[in-house]
Amino acid sequence: MGDSTLSKGFKIVPDVLDAAECAALLEALEAVPRSRAGSRHLLSCAAVSQLATDGRLTRIAKSFLDSEPFPFRATLFDKSANSNWLVVWHQDTALPLARRIEEPGWGPWSTKAGVLYAHAPAWALARVVALRVHLDPSESANGPLRVIPGSHQLGVLTDDQLAALAISHEVGTCLVPVGGILAMRPLLVHSSSKSTNLCPRRIIHIEYADAEYLAPGCELAVA
């Protein structure tokens, strides 16, 4: 991979979508059932499913995966003055699966909105990248994502390890303009603060894997 930013576990790509495309996505999302903080399992929404297979996005995902990206999950995060929350330092370790498997490293298991999830081992998460499509600008005052560059290379960490890492390592703040994309590895340690202004921060978070089956019998569920 020639792009040195990929070794950091994340990359910001500005100006992928234009303002009209972002507005059309926001309009389509008005019809989607949601909680105050957003909505899960958005690949059933035609506009989001179309976005997930857009060549502009799949090219970014492919630069991380080195294979044809398979979109398997999409989520809306909607942070605003009316729905404002703090996200502590963490990694994204749960994957949706088509069926339960009894293999080392998988679990604990849970079910969210009818979809089976398991916390995954590091080798499986290394085959995934998420693209965060910004429908609003992510600015310093509206709770932008903070990351620890390169931390995705450390494997799955405990809560104590996450806390120690946040104290001892450089932290970057991801400011992304409207229509821009933040690509990130799920094991990249990240957090976000509460918004301190009234500007919304709406993001479609789309996850891609390098294949539908991560191993024999280990099939990702499309959500």
pLDDT at 141: 85
| pLDDT tens by residue, 85-99 | 678 999 999 999 999
Write the burial class of residue 168 (CB in 10 Å: 0-12 exposed, 13-18 middle, 19+ buried): exposed
Phi/psi zone of residue 91: left (φ > 0), alpha (ψ -120 to 50 degrees), beta? beta
**Confidence grade of residue 193 (pLDDT, cut at 50, 70, 90):** confident
Q: How distant is the alpha carbon of residue 81 from its chain centre?
A: 22
* Tokens of residue 154, six digits: 């450390």
CATH code: domain of residue 18: 2.60.120.620
pLDDT at 40 > cutoff 50:
yes
Whether 148 is covered by a domain: the verdict is yes
What's the whole-model pTM score?
A: 0.94
Total of domains in the chain: 1
User: Which domain, by its residues, includes 185?
Assistant: 4-78+128-208
| pLDDT tens by residue, 63-81 | 999 899 999 999 999 877 6
For residues 60 and 160, give the distance between their C-alpha atoms in angstroms, rounded to a whole number.
33
Whether 118 is covered by a domain: the verdict is no
Whether 64 is covered by a domain: the verdict is yes
- Residue 194 DSSP class: P
Whether 107 is covered by a domain: the verdict is no
pLDDT at 194: 79
Write the burial class of residue 202 (CB in 10 Å: 0-12 exposed, 13-18 middle, 19+ buried): buried
* Tokens of residue 190, six digits: 């990240």
